[in-house]
Amino acid sequence: MEIAGRVVRNAAFWMPRRAPSIKNTPSGPETQVARLPFLRQIGRKGAETAAEFPFSVPVVRSLTTLAFPEPVTFFVGENGSGKSTLLEGIAAAAKLPAVGSADLAGDATLVAQRTLGAALQLTWNRRTHKGFFLRAEDFFGFTRRLSAMRAEFLRELAAIDVEYEGRSTLSKGLARMPASRSLAEMEQRYGIDLDANSHGQSFLKLFQSRFVPGGLYLLDEPEAPLSPQSQLALMMMMQDMISQDAQFIVATHSPILLAYPGAAIYSFDALPVQRTEYEELEHVRLTKDFLNQPGRYLRALREASE
Ligand SMILES: Nc1ncnc2c1ncn2[C@@H]1O[C@H](COP(=O)(O)OP(=O)(O)OP(=O)(O)O)[C@@H](O)[C@H]1O
Ligand SMILES: [Mg+2]
């Protein structure tokens, strides 16, 4: 089996192992093998009296504290239950950069979420400023912005070639240097063929190039463009990153991603949000049941078309 260009010889290969149990050594050396996740918990700074969005969302209104004891935490729940709202609030409070079309601080669509961010109390085991926040819809903006930047660098270089025609190689080389260096860095980091990949392929490439050790990653429905195999590839990348001291908080509907071993799963279908076991999730039960007997679910469709 091949997953995102990696040959996987047996089905168990990709399965991440549970992170080793963590020894908290506040005064110990920083070289401990396993470390506590960066973000320990979120809570509310005070009783919020505002009635409008985002405080109108029941899970936000009923939030007291939420702990992140594992390197991977999932937010799961029905559409509209508030997963993105809370994730965006955490991203704003943690001041994480957005891998999107606009930075969080300047994104006009996230004004309310910044208000939530300001109302959240974040407790850190260790503060990190590495990592990013990714909304699935932002990825389109991100690739567009990258190709616009690349086109701009190429235009700049072409203009320099015209302007410096007939002048020494040295002066032309010096003039070209800033743009060609930026272009080379961009191409090295993202691959010049980002546009030539499919949405899902680009998404995996983005993860590969942007994951750095020691980061906190907030991902909102990263499964959106990914095939089941690519979701397994994403899980392998997450495992790699966790072994290099990373933390993930992921809003998802994917029964595949949700199976990440040892993850803390919070159901947003309960008030307040409640920690839940994988096997008890409605997403998992329904998907299993549907795959076992699709006819039972599709009978209604057939009857409607008769
Ligand atoms: N900018 C906004 N202004 C007002 N209400 C909003 C805004 N954004 C979201 N909501 C409402 O807040 C609630 C929670 O939305 P949110 O996007 O957080 O849900 P979700 O759990 O992420 O859903 P999904 O699974 O569909 O992504 C919904 O009822 C939604 O209509
Ligand atoms: Mg959402």
CATH number at 64 reads: 3.40.50.300
Q: Is the C-beta atom of 64 inside 6 A of ligand 1?
A: no
C-alpha of residue 219 to centroid of ligand 2, in Å: 10
Interatomic CA distance for residues 87 and 30, integer angstroms: 29
Q: Is the C-beta atom of 56 inside 6 A of ligand 1?
A: no
Determine, yes or no, domain membership for 47: yes
Nearest CA, atom 8, ligand 1 = 85
pLDDT of residue 193: 64
pLDDT at position 4 over 80: no
Determine, yes or no, domain membership for 259: yes
Residues with Cβ within 8 Å of 230's Cβ and at least 6 positions away in sequence, in order, are 3, 4, 200, 203, 204
pLDDT of residue 26: 41
- B/e letters for 59-74, b = 16+ CB within 10 Å, e = fewer, are bbbebeebbbebbbbb
pLDDT at position 21 over 50: no
pLDDT of residue 22: 36
Determine, yes or no, domain membership for 23: no
Determine, yes or no, domain membership for 1: no
- Report CA dihedral (250, 19, 245, 222) to the nearest 10 degrees: -20
Residue 201: helix, strand or coil by DSSP? helix
Cα 251 to Cα 48, 203, 245: the distances in Å are: 24, 16, 20
Domain total for the chain? 1
Interatomic CA distance for residues 287 and 157, integer angstroms: 53
Mean pLDDT of 56-78: 96
Q: Is the C-beta atom of 82 inside 6 A of ligand 1?
A: yes
C-alpha count within 13 angstroms, C-beta hemisphere, residue 135:
23
pLDDT of residue 42: 97
Q: What is the pLDDT of residues 140-199, one digit of tens each?
A: 667 777 778 888 889 999 999 999 998 999 999 999 999 998 888 877 776 666 666 777
Which among 134, 250, 147, 252 has a CA at the least distance from the CA of 197?
A: 147
Determine, yes or no, domain membership for 101: yes
Interatomic CA distance for residues 261 and 284, integer angstroms: 15
CB 72 within 8 A of CB 246: no
Q: What is the largest CA-CA distance in the chain?
A: 79
Q: What is the pLDDT of residues 197-229, one digit of tens each?
A: 777 777 888 888 788 899 999 999 999 889 999
Determine, yes or no, domain membership for 306: no
Who has greater pLDDT, 277 or 10? 277
Q: Is the C-beta atom of 112 inside 6 A of ligand 1?
A: yes
pLDDT at position 137 over 90: no
Determine, yes or no, domain membership for 183: no
252 φ, ψ (degrees, to nearest 5): -155, 155
Who has greater pLDDT, 247 or 1? 247
C-alpha of residue 53 to centroid of ligand 1, in Å: 9
Nearest-ligand number for the alpha carbon of 79: 1
Residues with Cβ within 8 Å of 168's Cβ and at least 6 positions away in sequence, in order, are none
pLDDT at position 132 over 80: yes
Determine, yes or no, domain membership for 162: no
C-alpha of residue 194 to centroid of ligand 2, in Å: 26
Mean pLDDT of 132-146: 76
Q: Is the C-beta atom of 83 inside 6 A of ligand 1?
A: yes
Mean pLDDT of 19-35: 44
Count other C-beta atoms under 10 Å from residue 171's C-beta. 10
Who has greater pLDDT, 183 or 124? 124
Q: Is the C-beta atom of 89 inside 6 A of ligand 1?
A: no
pTM: 0.80
Mean residue pLDDT across the chain: 83
pLDDT of residue 48: 65
Is omega for the bond preceding 69 within 30 degrees of 0, making it cis? no
pLDDT of residue 222: 92
Helix 83-94 × helix 111-119 angle, to 10°: 70
Mean pLDDT of 26-55: 75
Q: Is the C-beta atom of 77 inside 6 A of ligand 1?
A: yes
Mean pLDDT of 99-107: 65
C-alpha of residue 95 to centroid of ligand 1, in Å: 21
**What is the domain extent for residue 218?**
32-137+213-294
C-alpha of residue 253 to centroid of ligand 1, in Å: 15
